[in-house]
Structures are given as C-alpha cells and as structure tokens.
C-alpha cells in the first residue's frame, strides 16, 4: 500500500499572544490519500485554517512531522518550500485573490510566469484551463467585469494551471450565493472525478461538506471527528 499523499503526525502550531502561548494546532494526526475529496469543518478558532496553511506549505508547524508526497516539509529551506508548493499545490481562496487590473487569462497564467514557462505556451495552457471551467469566452475580462461565481471559477482555473496533486480550497463558497456555490462545487467535484485531483476543502457549511467523500471536524486545535460521508452530493 502506498504512503498517504498528506501525512501529519502530532502537528502543533503555537503563537505568542500577550505573554501567553496560544496553541492553534494541538497534536494533529491526519492522513489523506492521493485522490481523496475531504472536507475540514469547525467553528471559528478551531484550527482548520491553520491546518490548511500548514498543509499548503504557507506556514511551518511548531512541532510534529508533515510529509507531502513523501517529502519531509519541515526539513526544507524557504526556497525549497516555495518550489514544492508551486509544483504540488493549487489554492482556491474565499475572496478569489485575483489581480484587479489583469484579465482572467493573465490571472490564470501568472503561476506559469513565476515558473518561467514560455509566454505562448503559458497562454495556451491558461486558455485550456479557463475552458475547463467554462470561461474561455471571458478570457479577456477583468475581475470587475465578472460575477463572484465567475471569479471563483477563474481562481479554480489558476489553481489547476500547474497540474497540482492537491487543491486546497479555503471557504471557496463563503462569498457566493446559493446558485453560484452549487456551480463552483459541481466544478470541483467534476475535476476530482475526471482528473483524480486530491481536494481538501475548509468550510463551515454542512451542505458544502456534503459534496465530499470524507469529513474531518476540528475543535480547539484537535481533530474531534473523522467520518466517511454517505449519499454524497453530486456523486
């Protein structure tokens, strides 16, 4: 049996606050297999966003061990960590994080620019990614010319551009209405099913978690529940 894509062992993350030590993560053990679609749920302050930041190599844990595709993340330098993140992980954020003066196409191809990909090849790949989320016709539009749901689909296309092994989505529907939320989750579900992308979705909404195969719940920096979701939406 192959090793998990994501393996966390006794992870801790502490922050100093007014002379005290606040534990955002307090001994987290978690394994996520390649190809899983997992929801992480919990109230504000439960540690779910901190855990996602650690999994996404945007923050280092204070203690414990984290392996991403067999690589000991805690042993990497800052540059090595950035390289691993760029190759292995795509991000979808609640507020889209699109650059307002760039077109949808330019926003999507930006990670390829950082990776040094030829401009023509980068544009072709970005257009293909936009087509995958149904937005090729809006490639020249700037974010203020698109709805919230369309902007989030652009951010999904950007997350896919480097063909990552895992996509991390932090409250991806938190700024969207019900219809747009369903559209975004349907796209994510289809990408998971057709491309085998590993998806980890942080959400506080049970109806969004219901699209996933597995639900992890957190409280006070610990995992308090881990269950398989039956009757998954969009299955």
pLDDT reported for residue 233: 67
Residue pLDDT, tens place only, 186-211: 999 999 999 899 999 999 899 999 99
Own/partner long-range contacts of 104-107 (Cβ < 8 Å, ≥24 apart): 104/130, 104/135, 104/138, 104/139, 104/140, 104/141, 104/142, 104/143, 104/146, 104/154, 104/157, 105/130, 105/139, 105/140, 107/143, 107/154, 107/155, 107/158
Task: Tell me what the mean pLDDT of segment 107-116 comes to.
Answer: 88
Label residue 44 by pLDDT band (50, 70, 90): confident
Q: Which burial class, exposed, middle or buried, applies to 57 when counting CB atoms under 10 A from its CB (0-12, 13-18, 19+)?
A: buried
Residue pLDDT, tens place only, 17-26: 887 888 999 9
* Mean pLDDT of the chain, nearest integer: 92
pLDDT reported for residue 232: 63
Q: How far apart are CA 195 and CA 166, in angstroms?
A: 11
- DSSP at 152: H
Task: Tell me what the mean pLDDT of segment 137-159 comes to.
Answer: 96
In sequence order, what are the residues at sequence separation of 6 or more whose Cβ sits closer than 8 angstroms to the Cβ of residue 182?
none
Report phi then psi at 70, rounded to 5.
85, -5
Label residue 1 by pLDDT band (50, 70, 90): low
pLDDT reported for residue 14: 94
Q: How far apart are CA 86 and CA 231, in angstroms?
A: 34
pLDDT reported for residue 18: 81
Task: Tell me what the mean pLDDT of segment 160-179 comes to.
Answer: 93
Show the domains of the chain with their CATH numbers: 6-228 (3.40.50.300)
Q: How far apart are CA 206 and CA 117, in angstroms?
A: 40
Where do the DSSP E strands lie in the chain?
A: 6-17, 20-32, 37-41, 63-68, 71-72, 89-92, 166-170, 198-202, 214-219, 222-228
Task: Answer with the residue of higher pLDDT: 235 or 79.
Answer: 79
Own/partner long-range contacts of 227-231 (Cβ < 8 Å, ≥24 apart): 229/39
pLDDT reported for residue 86: 86
Tokens of 150: 């369309």
| End-to-end Cα spacing for the chain | 26
Q: How far apart are CA 220 and CA 222, in angstroms?
A: 6
Task: Tell me what the mean pLDDT of segment 157-162 comes to.
Answer: 94
């Amino acid at each position: 049996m192959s090793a998990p894509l994501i393996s966390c062992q006794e992870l801790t993350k502490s922050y100093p606050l007014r002379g005290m030590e606040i534990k955002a993560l307090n001994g987290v053990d978690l394994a996520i297999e390649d190809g899983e679609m997992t929801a992480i749920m919990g109230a504000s302050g439960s540690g779910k966003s901190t855990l996602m930041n650690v999994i996404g190599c945007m923050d280092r844990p204070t203690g414990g061990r984290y392996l991403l595709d067999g690589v000991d993340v805690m042993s990497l330098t800052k540059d090595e960590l950035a390289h691993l993140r760029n190759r292995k992980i795509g991000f979808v954020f609640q507020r889209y994080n699109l650059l307002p003066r760039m077109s949808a196409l330019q926003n999507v191809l930006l990670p390829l620019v950082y990776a040094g990909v030829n401009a023509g090849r980068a544009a072709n790949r970005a257009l293909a990614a936009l087509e995958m989320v149904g937005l090729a016709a809006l490639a020249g539009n700037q974010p203020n010319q698109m709805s919230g749901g369309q902007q989030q689909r652009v951010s999904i296309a950007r997350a896919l551009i480097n063909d990552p092994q895992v996509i991390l989505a932090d409250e991806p529907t938190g700024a969207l209405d019900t219809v747009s939320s369903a559209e975004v989750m349907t796209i994510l579900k289809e990408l998971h099913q057709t491309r085998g992308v590993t998806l980890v979705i942080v959400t506080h909404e049970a109806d969004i978690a219901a699209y996933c195969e597995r639900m992890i719940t957190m409280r006070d920096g610990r995992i308090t529940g881990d269950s398989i979701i039956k009757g998954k939406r969009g299955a």
